[in-house]
A and B are shown apart, each in its own frame.
Chain A
């Protein structure tokens, strides 16, 4: 069953803590993306990766870091430098061309304790 999985579904972060959100896809897609959605807002791009071991900053990369060691995986770390991390985080993937459709995982909701 092909698709994108994200874990955990809910994540709680304490002050000053780094947390990592998981994203895995078995669609054989080259490109992967991370977006953030705040209540009543559209999605904003955090980071994206076109190929393994390469990634680019999106519009709101400050306070976040990523890695792409495997084609299937693109974890996102929310660092303590991100002062307002409470949001719905969405991972997406596509085949990497201009005309490709991005498909989304189910999302991770991050809350601050």
Chain B
């Protein structure tokens, strides 16, 4: 059974601070890891993808992957009110072709002005 776990929140962070979002997954065969941002009533939009252990930075966002601990995280630096949204962690398990993503239930992030 493929499972992706996230703390549902809400996670409240002051504007300008670092927001830290965490995700664990159960299948050790997981190949690809994604963070999506979803505003209320809208579809998910990709924030970051990561495939190998370590950190990956893109602007204010850093994704961290630790396959040994089956853990992936997203850091948002200099948080802005526009970052307030639900963040979905998604995992692709099977290699070698199309496969659906397994999603966590999402963490609701609130950035306090």
Please, which residue of chain A has its CB at the minimum distance from the CB of B103? A42
A48 touches B99 (CB 8 A): yes
Please, which residue of chain A has its CB at the minimum distance from the CB of B101? A102
Q: Decide yes or no whether B46 CB sits under 8 A from chain A.
A: yes
Interface extent on B, as a size class? 20 to 34
Q: Decide yes or no whether A30 CB sits under 8 A from chain B.
A: yes
Q: Decide yes or no whether B94 CB sits under 8 A from chain A.
A: yes
Chain B facing A: main interface SS: loop
Closest beta carbon of chain B to A4's beta carbon, Å: 9
Within 8 A of A (CB), among B41-85: 42-46, 49, 51
Q: Which residues of B contact A40 (CB under 8 A)?
A: 8, 105
A98 touches B32 (CB 8 A): yes
A106 touches B43 (CB 8 A): yes
B31 touches A96 (CB 8 A): no
Please, which residue of chain A has its CB at the minimum distance from the CB of B48? A101
Q: Which residues of B contact A90 (CB under 8 A)?
A: 43-44
A33 touches B97 (CB 8 A): no
Pick the residue among A31, A94, A99, A104 that contacts B44 (CB under 8 A). A104
Within 8 A of B (CB), among A25-47: 30-31, 33, 35, 40-45
Q: Decide yes or no whether A105 CB sits under 8 A from chain B.
A: yes
Pick the residue among B44, B96, B97, B103 that contacts A44 (CB under 8 A). B103
28 contacts between A and B (CB under 8 A): A33-B100, A35-B100, A41-B105, A42-B4, A42-B88, A42-B105, A43-B90, A44-B103, A45-B100, A48-B98, A48-B99, A49-B98, A50-B97, A59-B100, A90-B44, A94-B98, A96-B97, A96-B98, A97-B98, A98-B31, A98-B32, A98-B92, A98-B96, A99-B51, A102-B101, A104-B43, A105-B43, A107-B43
- Please give the residue numbers on chain B whose beta carbons come within 8 Å of chain A beta carbons, in ascending order: 4, 8, 31-32, 34, 42-46, 49, 51, 88, 90, 92, 94-106
